[in-house]
Amino acid sequence: MPTFEDARNIILNSVTPVGIERVAILDSLGRVITEEMVAPWDMPCFDNSAMDGFAVRAADCLEPASLQITGYIPAGGAATTRLEAGCAIRIMTGAPIPSGCDAVVPVEETEESDGRVRIKAGVTSRQHIRFKGEDVRSGETIIPAGTLIRPPEISMLASFGKAFVPVFCKARVAILSTGDELIELGEPLEAGRIINSNALSLAASVMEIGALPVILGIARDNPESHREKMREGLKADVLITSAGVSAGDRDLVREILAELGVEQVFWRVDIKPGGPTAFGIKDGKPIFSLPGNPVSTMVTFEELVRPALLKMMGHSRVIKPFVRAVLQSPARKKPGKINFLRVRLSSENGRYLAFSSGDQNTGILKTMLMADAIAMLPAERTEFSPGEEVDVHLLSGNVEMLEG
């Protein structure tokens, strides 16, 4: 049975990016660019004013000076008239610097009357001018291949006229639920039935990282139903199944996947929750068989599936960083398996405090909702006392905790 880290490495080493495509710039948000972007021109592409004020010659303002205002250049205007000695040209932020000018004096530092402007002493050459190419030089790399596109990258791409961006494709992730007890959301709830919530929580997790869920519905606990749905699922880039992967006599997932040619890479991992997780490959496609308890399904997605999907979409940072937190509640576990503890986090004097979110039984969904983070309790340990440090990583939507 692989350890948690072995299992994650085996999975990561088995997957490769699904493909590349060119998309409209806004559709590249949250995706990974596949090619290096090079600046086709200087930015700024002309010398321009950094302030609303007056274009002057610094040499005219060594002493307090009164300069004649001889022109006006708004943003978007043209610097057609030359600035002569003893003169000033009114200029707005972003407007081109006229020839003859080597400094801009902000309007707040001037007094204007009768067509002249009074300037205090102490103007230095080059002040408040943004020079051509000072931000980016033509030919410079603006975005390396493999970069995640965020709003600043969008800004840079747009500034250089890149309306379309080459990015890694979104992985298409088929999601299959299994079990005779399941009904779909919206169907009448009869005795002994439960709603297929895993399909929706998995789809949400898939969407959250920018992949595309394909919900296949429910395979019933018989081979024909499994076969039919799984054949469909194997057409996607990834297949995730939930439930039916333990040792019950109706647990058919692994058996039918094998029949369909899926090579089982491992079954069972040294983790809790999530012990019965299986991983297989067919034609280079990964197949994840997750346990059915909603908490186990979500935790195994988070710890084992999410990194793989990110890698398939070209991301290089695929494993969430752990931070140290001071445990505030006692915890106890059996030796041998890593335990993922659902915790609430708070911060105090720059340190994170981790509180158990409550009952850690895998059947308890509520404590998953109350968790900000997952604490990873090492396999060999059994007793954890308040005050000791543990590794935690944040669950999605809790990035603000990093700032607390």
Q: Compute the least distance from the CB of residue 202 to ligand AMP, in Å.
A: 9
Of 196, 202, 274, the C-alpha closest to 240 is 202
Smallest distance, ligand AMP to C-beta of residue 197, A: 4
Q: Cβ-closest residue to Mg ion?
A: 179
Taking the C-alpha atoms of residue 2 and residue 275, their distance in angstroms, rounded to an integer, is 10
Q: Which stretch binds ligand AMP (CB under 6 A): 57-65, 135-143, 178-186, 380-388?
A: 178-186
The answer for residues whose C-beta is within 8 angstroms of residue 280's C-beta and 6 or more apart is 254, 257, 258, 262, 263, 264, 265, 286, 287, 289
Integer CA distances (angstroms), 14 to 10, 17, 90, 135, 287, in order: 6, 11, 64, 41, 11
Instruction: Name every residue whose Cβ is closer than 8 Å to that of residue 350 and which is 6 or more positions away in sequence.
Output: none
- The answer to whether the peptide bond before residue 276 is cis (omega within 30 degrees of 0) is no
> Min. distance of Cβ 246 from ligand AMP in angstroms?
5
Which listed residue (2, 44, 213, 244) binds ligand AMP by CB under 6 A? 244
Q: Residue 227 — φ and ψ, nearest 5°?
A: -55, -50
> From Mg ion, ligand AMP, none, which one binds at residue 198 (CB under 5 to 8 Å depending on kind)?
ligand AMP
2 lines the binding site for ligand AMP (CB under 6 A): no
Helix (H) or strand (E) holding 348: strand 338-348
292 touches ligand AMP (CB under 6 A): yes
**274 near ligand AMP (CB under 6 A):** no
Footprint on this chain of Mg ion (rule: CB under 5 A): 179, 243-244
Question: Which of 81, 93, 246, 328 is the binder for ligand AMP (CB under 6 A)?
Answer: 246
Q: Does 362 participate in binding ligand AMP (rule CB under 6 A)?
A: no
Beta strands, E only, 209-294: 212-219, 238-242, 263-267, 271-272, 278-282, 285-290
Window 184-223: residues binding ligand AMP (CB under 6 A): 194, 196-199
Identified binder of ligand AMP from the candidate list 205, 241, 242, 356, rule CB under 6 A: 242
Does residue number 96 form part of the binding site for ligand AMP (CB under 6 A)? no
Stretch that binds ligand AMP, among 39-47, 59-67, 128-136, 237-245 (CB under 6 A): 237-245
Q: Which is nearer to ligand AMP, 182 or 230 (CB)?
A: 182
Task: Report the sign of the C-alpha dihedral through residues 153, 158, 160, 163, in that order.
Answer: positive
Nearest CA-CA partner of 373 in 277, 292, 302 = 302
- Name every residue whose Cβ is closer than 8 Å to that of residue 117 and which is 6 or more positions away in sequence: 54, 66, 67, 69, 88, 110, 111
Choose between 88 and 243: whose C-beta lies nearer to Mg ion.
Answer: 243
Q: Is 182 near ligand AMP (CB under 6 A)? A: yes
CB of 254 to ligand AMP, least distance (A): 12
Give residues in contact with ligand AMP (CB under 6 A). 177, 179, 181-182, 194, 196-199, 242-244, 246, 248, 291-294
